[in-house]
Amino acid sequence: MTHRLHNTLAAVAIAAGMLFAGSPALAQEGVNVRPGGSAVSRLIPAEALEKQAVQEYAQLKQEAAAKGLLAGTNDTQLVRLRRIANRILPHTAKWNARASEWPWEVNLIKSDEINAFCMPGGKIAFFTGIINKLKLTDDEIAMVMGHEIAHALQEHARERAAKSELTNAGASLLSQFFGLGDLGNMALGVGAQLMSLKFSRGDESEADLVGLDIAARAGYDPRASITLWQKMGSVGGNGPIEFLSTHPSGTSRIAELERQIPNVLPLYARTKGMSVAQLPPYRSNVSNLGPAPQDAGDQNRSAPLRR
């Protein structure tokens, strides 16, 4: 190879490297979070926990239906939730390969409670309170849904169940640790906690970021995460609402979301066929919060549900 040809090829290689490095389509995009659960979570069989989740979810629906609080298939808010879920769910396998096998389900409970959750195995529930009282836009609903789905994808419930059993079982468990002993049966014992499980602040922050990522890939504006948590703060009253009880403070949470939004905004922009620079300014109804709409069913919506 001549010296001139060598120099020419080298120049081409350098130029190509600069092109690939600068290409937004080829650069690493999205949030930088470790997918899946921790090594500790492996101590609880996923199948056992998911089986228990199916049973608890079915019981919740049965209770709600008996009280007239389970939204019917044609309910406009439920249709809206399921439409949003159908856009988000194809992007879940990136974070947990088993998600493509889960029997995902979305339901709506008519309750004033400001809450939503996703149980292990993809069982999602929203309460009308979180939609009505916060006047959520589709983008904001997607941020809530993405956050809750992220808990299931990252197997936070499985990890906390495993840690709880390790703590409670003590020396008797350590003697059977390497053979796993009765851990499979223990998973069923913690099932009653699945709908009221409180995650750590680290888990909540991780769910914020993973949820932001999958919602942006589904075509929902990640900037809505900021207005969502502003709304959450506006209805907190004298103390944290149930949905926020173990979450990071509003100030630190919003600061972290603002730091992460540039990492996912290109994903959202691409779904619109635009560059980030071409995106219009984000607008929300955050300044238009008022009393939740009242109707004849409001008295029923306050009826307690097992959680």
Residues noted as catalytic: 148
Helix or strand holding residue 106 (H, E): strand 105-109
Measured distance CA(220)–CA(87) in Å, rounded:
9
Radius of gyration over alpha carbons of the chain, in Å? 22
Nearest to 42 by CA among 233, 187, 217, 234: 187
Measured distance CA(92)–CA(121) in Å, rounded:
12
Q: Which residue has the tokens 């004849």?
A: 296
Measured distance CA(248)–CA(83) in Å, rounded:
29
105 and 122 in contact (C-beta within 8 Å)? yes
Q: State the alpha helices, DSSP H only, in 190-242.
A: 201-217, 224-234
Backbone angle region of 241, left / alpha / beta, with phi > 0 → left and psi within -120 to 50 → alpha: beta
Backbone angle region of 68, left / alpha / beta, with phi > 0 → left and psi within -120 to 50 → alpha: left
Q: Which residue has the tokens 């238009």?
A: 288
Is residue 27 helix, strand or coil?
coil
Residue 179: alpha-carbon gap to chain centroid: 33
Is residue 96 helix, strand or coil?
coil
CB atoms within 10 A of CB 87: 18
Residue 247 DSSP one-character state: S
99-212-271-287 Cα dihedral, nearest 10 degrees: 140
| Angle, alpha carbons 225-226-229 (nearest 5°) | 85
